Amino acid sequence: MTKKSVAAIALSIAVITTLTIISCKKDKSGYKLDVHLTDAPAAFEEVNVDIEEVKVKLRDDSAGWVSLNTNAGIYNLLGLQNGVDTLLATGILPSNFVQEIRLYLGSDNTVKVGGQTFPLSMNSGDAERLMIKVNKGISSAVDSLIIDFDAGLSIILDGNGGYRLQPVITIK
């Protein structure tokens, strides 16, 4: 054998080995979903939303609500504008169709206007969770959804000088 044929055989073995390793790394247990959070521009100094948990409901209802690994915390939506987003939650799902997402909120939701911070109240029925219809298939082994929380349309000045959170959310 010549040096060129030995090199060609070695290169072929390296390519086949690399492709085999890559193909074996696919997660065969389900579909990975990443949920990101972003915001449209708004005329406030801060809009802080306390997100404690993210759950998804699949088309196949036998799994019920699936909890994702949530990066719980208080998110200033105004820091997530102009193409900026943050990873909110991630998880492996047993099915490839997301029907609905729930964001479970804490009590530390605030808005800052004119240098003053005000609590954001919600209707009592909405106080602990936001339900978002998705109806989207996951198209590959790893997929992402972006929750666009429109702070400008979601903050309402009530008649008592306080502020209410009435979320306007779209999925991208």
Q: DSSP letters along 33-91, please? A: EEEEEE----SSSEEEEEEEEEEEEESSGGG-EEEPEE--EEEEGGGS-TT--EEEEEE
Give just the sign of the alpha carbon dihedral 92, 94, 97, 100. negative
Confidence at residue 12, expressed as pLDDT on a 0 to 100 scale: 38
Residue 74: which pLDDT band, with cuts at 50, 70 and 90? very high
Cα–Cα distance, 129 to 22 (Å, whole number):
39
Condensed to tens digits (0 to 9), the pLDDT of residues 89-140 reads 999 988 888 999 999 999 999 999 999 999 998 876 555 788 999 998 887 7
Tokens of 121: 């109240």
Confidence at residue 126, expressed as pLDDT on a 0 to 100 scale: 53
Q: pLDDT: is 70 or 19 the higher one?
A: 70
Tokens of 50: 């306390």
Residues above pLDDT 90, as percent of the chain = 39
Whole-number average pLDDT of the chain? 80
Identity of residue 14: A
* Neighbour tally for 165: CB within 10 Å: 22
Residue 5: which pLDDT band, with cuts at 50, 70 and 90? very low
Residues above pLDDT 70, as percent of the chain = 79
